[in-house]
């Protein structure tokens, strides 16, 4: 993994099929705490902190932000799963983790068996279809990509305020233990730097990779299920199924729909997610 240290949790039972769970911004693997106990009865769960997040490595970046490209993060995860003995696996991913999962499926089609993505449309589609409503609701997309150290300095001046601003729009309350973990991590200036680099990469090199995929007809090959919150920005501003079908070899393999919650599906609607995950991931068995 090129010197990258991945932290998180593994509930490995070799007799159970592997399931890789990937979190989003500005969180950690802790987002899965309400769904992991039930999923662990059916799968060997691998729940890492993404590069730059939580307690995983936060390497220096570069002028092109390639260090925090979704391609680099996908490489981390492919190497991690191989190190654990899993050459083929399924993926459940939310938010930024779902963007990494998209890259993982395109770059390593032989490894990804099935993929369930939570509350995103493709990055390229979201930038190309930016509206006033989207830019207002997802203000952080355009704040975090500003040149260093401007956003880093502002966040580090009051990191807990940033966390509350970006996450308190969710329906319901976060578990206090999970919230304390998110607070702990966002107070690390290196995490803040890495988060900004993640978003800078998304607005630059990740878009280059996405456009190259389309030009070379490199598509998602595996069955894809997409869920999003009825009360979230994706529902209001995009047509997720239509956008994902454009990027899949077999558009008829893309299924999904909206559920009655906001953005943070694993914490707002855990049972609905567990039910959907079990139905989708066990379909072929």
* Rounded Cα–Cα distance for residues 281 and 115 (Å): 8
Q: What is the pLDDT of residue 5?
A: 72
**Which residues are known to be catalytic?**
95, 263
pLDDT tens for each residue of 103-116: 999 999 999 999 99
pLDDT of residue 222 exceeding 70, the answer is: yes
pLDDT of residue 13 exceeding 90, the answer is: no
Lateral strand order in the sheet of 8-11:
8-11, 44-48, 18-22, 89-94, 112-118, 224-229, 254-259
* Percent helix / strand / coil, the chain, rounded to 5: 50, 15, 35
* Rounded Cα–Cα distance for residues 12 and 110 (Å): 22
Q: What is the pLDDT of residue 106?
A: 98
Q: What is the pLDDT of residue 16?
A: 94
Q: What is the pLDDT of residue 261?
A: 93
Q: How far is CA 22 from its chain centroid?
A: 5
| Range of weakest confidence among 7-11, 156-160, 184-188, 271-275 | 7-11
Domains in the chain, please, with CATH? 8-281 (3.40.50.1820)
Residue in 143, 146, 148 with CA at minimum distance from that of residue 26:
143
pLDDT tens for each residue of 42-93: 999 999 999 999 999 999 999 999 999 999 999 999 999 999 999 999 999 9
* Rounded Cα–Cα distance for residues 277 and 285 (Å): 13
Q: What is the pLDDT of residue 192?
A: 98
CB atoms within 10 A of CB 118: 29
pLDDT of residue 285 exceeding 60, the answer is: no
Q: What is the pLDDT of residue 171?
A: 47
Region 250-272: mean pLDDT is 96
Task: Show the tokens assigned to 278.
Answer: 């079990």
> Mean pLDDT over all residues of the chain?
94
Q: What is the pLDDT of residue 8?
A: 73
Predicted TM-score of the model (pTM): 0.95
């Amino acid at each position: 993994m090129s010197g990258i240290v991945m932290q998180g949790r593994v509930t490995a039972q070799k007799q159970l099929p592997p399931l890789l769970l990937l979190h989003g911004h500005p969180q950690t693997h802790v987002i899965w705490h309400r769904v992991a106990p039930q999923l662990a009865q059916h799968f060997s769960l691998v729940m890492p902190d993404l590069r730059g997040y939580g307690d995983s490595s936060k390497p220096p970046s570069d002028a092109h932000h390639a260090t925090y490209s979704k391609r680099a993060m996908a490489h981390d995860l492919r190497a991690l799963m191989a190190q654990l003995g899993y050459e083929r696996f399924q993926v459940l991913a939310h938010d930024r983790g779902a963007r990494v999962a998209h890259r993982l499926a395109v770059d390593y089609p032989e490894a990804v068996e099935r993929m369930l993505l939570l509350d995103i449309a493709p990055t390229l589609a979201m930038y190309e279809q930016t509206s006033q409503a989207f830019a207002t609701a997802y203000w952080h997309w355009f704040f975090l990509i500003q040149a260093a150290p401007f956003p880093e300095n502002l966040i580090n001046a009051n990191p807990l305020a940033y966390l509350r601003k970006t996450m308190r729009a969710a329906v319901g309350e976060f578990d206090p233990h999970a919230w304390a973990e998110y607070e702990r991590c966002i107070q690390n200036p290196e995490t803040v730097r890495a988060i900004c680099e993640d978003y800078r990469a998304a607005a630059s090199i990740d878009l280059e990779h996405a456009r190259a995929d389309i030009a070379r007809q490199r598509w998602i090959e595996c069955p894809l299920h997409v869920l999003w919150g009825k009360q979230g920005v994706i529902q209001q501003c995009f047509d997720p199924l239509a956008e994902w079908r454009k990027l899949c070899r077999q558009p008829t393999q893309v299924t999904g729909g909206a559920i009655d919650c906001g953005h943070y599906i694993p914490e707002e609607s855990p049972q609905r997610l567990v039910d959907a995950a079990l139905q989708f991931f066990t379909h072929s068995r």
